[in-house]
Amino acid sequence: MPLIVVVGGFFGDEGKGKVVSYLGLIDKPSICVRTGSINAGHTVNYNGKSWKLRILPSCFVNESTRLMVAPGALFKVDVLLREIEDTKAHGRVWVDANAGIIEDKHVENERNNEYLMKTIGSTGQGVGAAMVDRVLRVLKTAKDIPELRGMITDVSKDVNEELDRGGEVIVEGTQGTFLSLYHGTYPFVTSRDTTAAGIISEVGVSPRLVSDIVLVFKSYVTRVGAGELPGELSPEEVVARGWVERGTVTGRPRRAAPFNIELARRAVMLNRPTQIAITKFDALFPEARGKRRWVDLPVSARRWIEDITEALKVPVTLIGTGEDSLDMIDMRREVVGP
């Protein structure tokens, strides 16, 4: 009955898509559920191809996995249909009847809001405006959309029944811990709770069913839009370190800072992970690029991971060493057992 929840540890952009796609390929889960909304993108690189997803679960690379959109999610119909086409996932995508629909009016309302766009740094995807309509109980949901009729299901029921049968389910969280509406750097946050507790509430599963919480950190910290970023580097220093990135959804440059152990400790406190994944490790240690075995890492790189494990009191089990989904050092068996 393994239920694995994947959570971002910083401000989003940690590489959750890579981690989830790797788990999809290796663990072969029965179901993968995506929470959140289209204001956050997950990038998957596999077998020479690249996909930038905004609502479809990153497990799509495993063709045997059923892909589901949670009842707590919000999405635009055209975005979902385009991603199904791009990933050739026809016939295995299911949407909860209560998943919320973002309409053009929501996008327009948000982009016309100067406070949101200029002060907060909203992505302007209509998510906040749609969430307001959700709270007011006037939002359209998936069951109201004719184009989705053949995909409608009860995700909570499907997930719970699969867990009762002993199947594996992966829940893919969105954004990062410190963008949580409640636990982040308010008001520079997103419109939902992005911690592990919030993620599973969007799906409809009990905390008692969670087997593992994988907290994902990048080897450095990035943030798009406004809000505090402790230790923020100048643009020139970001270039010098090779940490230049742009947001998957907006294309905006990401601000960057070195790995922040205090932020990481708070993320651990809020999420209580059983495991930690570190991505973009090759950006910190170029000699680690493409390595897939712990013993092939240089001593300095192994020491860095050991120091993180000791500081956070949680084992680092997954280390991303390149863009491809399979560029991963997987130490789960060695660290937490079979």
Active site residues: 13, 42
Q: Which residues lie closer than 8 Å to 156 by C-beta, 6 or more apart?
A: 71, 96, 203, 204, 205
If you count them, how many residues does the chain have? 338
Q: Which residues lie closer than 8 Å to 147 by C-beta, 6 or more apart?
A: 77, 81
The sheet with strand 212-218 has its strands ordered as 152-153, 93-96, 66-69, 31-34, 169-172, 3-8, 212-218, 275-279, 316-320, 328-330
> Is residue 246 within 8 Å of residue 252, measured between CB atoms?
yes
The per-type count for the chain, helices as H runs and strands as E runs, is 12, 16
Amino acid letter, residue 279:
T
> Is residue 227 within 8 Å of residue 19, measured between CB atoms?
no
Cis peptide before 187 (omega within 30 of 0): yes
- Residue 197 token pair: 């507790």
- Residue 152 token pair: 């409608």
Euclidean distance between CA atoms 147 and 144, whole angstroms: 9
Residue whose structure tokens are 């410190």: 178
What angle (nearest 5°) sits at the alpha carbon of residue 162, between those of residues 157 and 166? 145
Q: Which residues lie closer than 8 Å to 303 by C-beta, 6 or more apart?
A: none
Phi and psi at residue 245, to the nearest 5°? -140, 160
